[in-house]
């Protein structure tokens, strides 16, 4: 038997196994999804009360994960939809729609009748048709306790010009799933992979579907050759020629009862359309072997199309589970993939601000005129990778990895330069501005006019999850510096221990899944931590300032460190942590 025949036989066997697993998962998940359908229907009845389009200025969106962020095809706007938030006890799902006005650096909330149900881990793609369309497929809904899941298989389109939602009902589409990937390519929406999970079982997919944007019909593709193994959360990029590139992703397998093993994929594939432009194009998989410096293995990275025929990868996390600790390496680096040259390379930021350079050059010139010794600055060097271990109260080890551009230049600065920088920071306020986003996974990214926008994401400290809501940008042409458009508000951070309000869980199911801010605030006020480890302990009347700062010091130190980076001096971090704590409390003593 030839090699080709063996590969074909192996592929057919894998397809049969996948089909059997799919039926098994489908049977067990049916009961769960029936339970959640009633809850989803109740939420939709609340949404049905919306009868008119209302656009209003608003504060930035609350912290959330697994939402979608897309650039408007015609306007200087970013569109954010859906997402989820977990506070340690409950999962909150959203279906709200926000518009970020780039030029004004402001947010607006857009209430439109008959929106898609609340969801997260869906996919969204924008096309320029008829003034712009935002297409959304799939995703998941979770019960407030996070133990039951409903996976959507619906397709929606938001007509941006008329501000109307429309559900497209077409047969033959993908099964319900989340964590899949979808891109717009040559008047088609191409969907790949994803997973479906119930309380006891899960299945990962590697199938490919195409939705025709002209005929509004689904077709399941059957590419020739060996394609990627089943996975979710991969990078999916269309090429100008109408082909698709797949990189990385995550999947897990059950190796024995109640024991699962995760896999971080690092392979790369090309899905090529042979005979593109014809009525029925033939597709074929082939494996790619890119050159250059590849990203380290990770999951939870964000991807976007970049200028100059490139795509980019941002952030992510590499988790390693051990017997007594969970180590997570979080990233905030950028990698580019050149589609034409089939080459990976890391982004190299150009270092300090030009304005600072001018000030320093001016001071050096004055020193020379006075006959003093000229300051010698070392040449800029490659980015420095710094690893910092944080030990939580429960002993869990958390490793945060950060890439610092031009680290050698900062490391070898003279004492006078450090003093000057400290003065500049004091002039600009105690909190200052971080020079780059802190390491994170599951960030939302979008590119508009060659500028990358990074919103939110998360990182973990021990068993606690910090969900971010900050917004950063960087010019991908110049790559000179990150700009902070929105800092994270410490007031939005909430973490409740599992034992704090389990008895109230059943009564709060609807409010929790709906994601109302009022319910979150009341839960924070009512919950108490018997051991004094509450995330945001309230300030009691007459309590001394030093006392309450000491109670929260560990929390604020972690938060300040995440913004300032592992290389920041402990004295500065402590100062910023105290300032952040004072900012949080309305009336500190």
CB atoms within 10 A of CB 465: 15
DSSP secondary structure of 242-283: S-EEEEEEEEEEEEETTEEEEEEEEEEEEEEEETTTSSS-EE
- Residue in the block written with tokens 């717009």: 184
Domains: count for the chain = 1
Q: Output 29 or 455, whichever has higher pLDDT.
A: 455
Of the listed ranges 198-207, 339-348, 435-444, 536-545, the one predicted with least confidence: 536-545
What pLDDT is attached to residue 4? 47
Helix axes 570-584, 545-564, angle to 10 degrees: 120
Residue 532 has a CB neighbour count (10 Å cut-off) of: 8
Q: How far apart are the first and last CA of the chain?
A: 81
**Per-residue model confidence as pLDDT tens digits over 191-206:** 999 999 876 788 999 9
Q: Which residue has the higher pLDDT, 376 or 564?
A: 564
3-state helix/strand/coil string of 363-417: HHHHHHHCCCCCCCCCCCCCCEEEEEEEECCCCCEEEEEEEECCHHHHHCCCHHH
On whether residue 305 sits in a domain, the answer given is no
Distances (CA, A) of 134 to 128, 159, 548: 9, 7, 47
Per-residue pLDDT tens over the stretch 81-105: 999 999 888 999 999 999 999 999 9
Q: Which regions of 187-257 does DSSP assign to beta strands (E)? A: 188-197, 202-212, 217-220, 235-238, 244-256
pLDDT attached to residue 256: 79
pLDDT band for 228, please (50, 70, 90 cuts): very high
**For the ranges 128-142, 377-391, 403-417, 517-531, which has the lowest average pLDDT?**
517-531
How high is the pLDDT of residue 286?
97
pLDDT, tens digit, 9 for 90 and up, residues 429-438? 434 444 789 9
Looking at residue 49, the DSSP 8-state letter turns out to be: T
- Reported as a pLDDT band with limits 50, 70 and 90, residue 15 is low
Residue 366 clears pLDDT 60, i.e. is over it? no
Whether pLDDT at 359 is above 80: no
Q: Are 124 and 68 a contacting pair, CB within 8 Å? A: yes
β 202-212/217-220 pair status: antiparallel
Tell me if 298 sits within 8 A of 330, measured CB to CB. no
Q: What is the spatial distance between Cα 369 and Cα 299, in angstroms, rounded to a whole number?
A: 55
- Mean pLDDT, rounded, for 485-494: 82
Task: Return the higher-pLDDT residue of 17 and 473.
Answer: 473
Phi, psi of 359 (to 5 degrees): -60, -40
Tell me how many degrees the CA angle 228-182-18 measures, rounded to the nearest 5.
Answer: 40
Domain assignment present for residue 561? The answer is: yes
8 Å CB contact between 174 and 123: no
CA distance 397 to 395: 6
- The candidate with the shortest Cα–Cα distance to 522, out of 506, 504, 540, 539, is 504
pLDDT of residue 427: 42
What is the rounded average pLDDT of the residues 536-562?
49
Laid out side by side, the sheet with 202-212 consists of: 181-184, 188-197, 202-212, 217-220
Report how far apart, in Å, the C-alpha atoms of 537 and of each of 226, 264, 541, 545 are.
55, 38, 13, 13
C-alpha to C-alpha distance for 100 and 93, rounded to whole angstroms: 20
pLDDT over 70 for what percent of the chain? 63
d(CA 208, CA 270): 13
What's the whole-number mean pLDDT along residues 211-225?
96
In the predicted model, what is the mean pLDDT of the chain? 77
- Asked whether residue 551 is domain-assigned, the answer is yes
- Find the range with the poorest average confidence among 14-18, 180-184, 191-195, 453-457: 14-18
Question: How do residues 158-185 score in pLDDT, each as one tens digit?
Answer: 999 999 999 999 999 999 999 999 999 9
DSSP 286-322: EE---EE-PPPS-BS-EEEEETTTEEEEEEEEEEEE-
Q: Is residue 573 part of a domain?
A: yes
Residue 183's nearest CA partner among 226, 141, 137, 221 is 137
Q: Is 172 exposed, middle or buried (0-12, 13-18, 19+ CB in 10 A)?
A: exposed
Task: Look at the chain and count its residues.
Answer: 589
| Separation CA 500–CA 141 (nearest Å) | 24
The answer to which of 109-118, 136-145, 390-399 has the lowest mean pLDDT is: 390-399
Residue 562 belongs to a domain: yes
Helix (H) and strand (E) counts for the chain? 8, 30
The answer to whether residue 187 sits within a structural domain is: no
Please give the helix or strand (H or E) that residue 86 lies within, else none: strand 77-86
Q: Quick check: is 572 in a domain?
A: yes
The answer, as to whether pTM is greater than 0.85, is: no
Write down the pLDDT at residue 533: 35
Q: Is the pLDDT of residue 450 over 70?
A: yes
Range of the domain at 577: 545-586
- The answer to whether 481 and 470 have CB atoms below 8 angstroms apart is no
Cα(208)–Cα(210) distance, integer angstroms? 7
Q: Residue 576 falls within a domain, yes or no?
A: yes
User: pLDDT tens for residues 48-73?
Assistant: 778 899 999 999 999 999 999 999 99
């Amino acid at each position: 038997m030839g090699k080709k025949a063996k590969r074909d036989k192996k592929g057919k066997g894998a397809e049969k196994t996948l089909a059997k697993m799919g039926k098994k998962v489908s049977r067990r998940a049916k009961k769960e999804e029936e339970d959640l359908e009633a809850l989803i229907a109740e939420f939709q009845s609340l949404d049905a009360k919306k009868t008119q389009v209302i656009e209003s200025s608003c504060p930035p969106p609350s912290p959330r994960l697994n939402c979608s962020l897309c650039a408007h095809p015609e306007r200087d706007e970013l569109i954010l939809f859906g997402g989820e938030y977990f506070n340690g006890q409950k999962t909150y799902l959203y279906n709200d729609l926000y518009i970020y006005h780039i030029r004004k650096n402001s947010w607006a909330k857009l209430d439109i009748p008959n929106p898609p149900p609340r969801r997260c881990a869906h996919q969204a793609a924008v096309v320029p048709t008829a003034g712009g369309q935002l297409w959304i497929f799939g995703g998941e809904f979770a019960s407030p306790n996070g133990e039951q899941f409903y996976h959507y298989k619906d397709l929606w389109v938001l007509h941006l010009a008329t501000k109307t939602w429309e559900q497209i009902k077409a047969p033959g589409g993908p099964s319900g799933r989340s964590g899949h990937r979808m891109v717009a390519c040559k008047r088609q929406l191409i969907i790949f992979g994803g997973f479906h999970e119930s309380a006891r079982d899960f299945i990962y997919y590697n199938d490919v579907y195409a939705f025709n944007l002209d005929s509004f019909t689904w077709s399941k593709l059957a590419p020739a050759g060996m394609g990627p193994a089943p996975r979710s959360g991969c990078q999916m990029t269309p090429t100008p020629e109408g082909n698709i590139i797949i990189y990385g992703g995550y999947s897990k397998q059950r190796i024995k009862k109640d024991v699962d093993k995760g896999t971080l994929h690092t392979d790369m594939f090309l899905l090529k359309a042979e005979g593109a432009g014809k009525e029925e194009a033939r597709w074929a998989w082939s494996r790619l072997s890119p050159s250059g410096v590849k990203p380290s293995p990770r999951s939870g990275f964000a991807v976007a199309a970049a200028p100059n025929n490139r795509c980019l990868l941002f952030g992510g996390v590499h988790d390693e589970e051990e017997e007594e600790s969970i180590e997570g390496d979080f990233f905030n680096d950028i990698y580019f993939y050149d589609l034409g040259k089939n080459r990976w390379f890391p982004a190299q930021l150009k270092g300090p601000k030009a304005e600072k350079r001018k000030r320093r050059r001016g001071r050096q010139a004055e020193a020379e005129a006075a006959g003093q010794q000229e300051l010698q600055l070392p040449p800029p060097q490659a980015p420095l990778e710094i690893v910092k271990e944080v030990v939580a109260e429960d002993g869990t080890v958390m490793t945060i990895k950060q890439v610092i551009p031009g680290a050698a230049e900062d490391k070898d600065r003279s004492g006078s330069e450090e003093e000057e920088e400290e003065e500049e920071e004091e002039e600009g306020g105690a909190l200052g501005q971080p020079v780059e986003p802190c390491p994170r996974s599951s960030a939302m990214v979008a590119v508009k006019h060659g500028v990358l926008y990074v919103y939110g994401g998360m990182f973990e400290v021990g068993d606690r999850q910090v969900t971010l809501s900050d917004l950063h940008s960087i010019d991908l042409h110049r790559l000179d510096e990150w700009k902070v458009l929105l800092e994270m508000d410490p007031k939005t951070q909430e973490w409740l221990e599992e034992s704090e309000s389990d008895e109230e869980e059943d009564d709060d199911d609807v409010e929790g899944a709906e994601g109302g801010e009022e319910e979150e605030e009341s839960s924070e006020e009512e919950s108490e931590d018997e051991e004094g480890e509450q995330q945001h302990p309230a300030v009691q009347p007459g309590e001394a300032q030093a006392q309450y700062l000491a109670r929260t010091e560990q929390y604020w130190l972690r938060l300040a460190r995440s913004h300032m980076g592992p290389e920041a001096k402990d004295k500065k971090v402590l100062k910023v942590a105290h300032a952040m704590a004072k900012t949080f409390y309305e009336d500190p003593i």
